[in-house]
Structure formats: C-alpha cells, structure tokens
Amino acid sequence: MADEIQTLGVVDRLFPLILSGEKTSTIRWRERHIVPGPLKFVCDANSSQTVEVEVFRCSDMPLNQAASFVGKTEEWSDDVMLAGMREHYPDIQLSSIVQVIEYTLSSKN
C-alpha cells in the first residue's frame, strides 16, 4: 500500500495565496511533523478545496528566527509574528521551536 499524502489544514484567507504561488512557506507549532515530498493543503472553511504542493525543505527553529529565515523580516516584526501565530497557537512564545515548511506548487494542480 502506498503511503498516504501528508496533509495540513490552512485558514481560508490564506488558501488563495497558496493557489497563486504567492505563499511558499508555512510555520507550524506542535502539529504533525512534515517531511520533504508531496503535501496537500486542505482549506479549513471548505474541505473540498485542496491544493497539492511539493515540500522541498523543513527546518526547526525558534519562532523569533522564522521571519528572517523566509525573508519576511520587514513584514513580520517580532510583535507582528507573535500576534499572528497566537491566532492559531495561543500559548506560543518567540522562543518556541517551530517547523518552517517551504514548498512549491505541484505540477498536479
């Protein structure tokens, strides 16, 4: 039996950014550990909306290093990053170890 494709939920406001190729990374905390390879995002608001991506790198680091790692330092100050992440993970801290998942759109889309 083939391995099941990895899946992650994504909030509906971000789903179009994945579809357009504008969003190329996601930061997760205490969620399923993702590895390079195929990954399917499922829209939280409508589970029939999915998109496949190809994960090329997964990196663990403190949250306060993630913005710099993905080249978003100007947009994501520590305060902005922490507030945004706390929408999804209320207990997260800047020192919390997160997984940064980088991907490209799959040719299957």
pLDDT at 91: 97
Global confidence as pTM: 0.92
CA pair distance 93, 50, nearest whole angstrom: 30
Q: Which overall architecture, per CATH, does domain 6-105 show?
A: Roll (2.30)
Q: What are phi and psi of 31, to 5 degrees?
A: -115, 180
Tell me the domain boundaries of the chain: 6-105
pLDDT tens for each residue of 86-96: 999 999 999 99
Whether 7 and 38 have beta carbons less than 8 Å apart is answered as: no
pLDDT tens for each residue of 48-84: 999 999 999 999 999 999 999 999 999 999 999 999 9
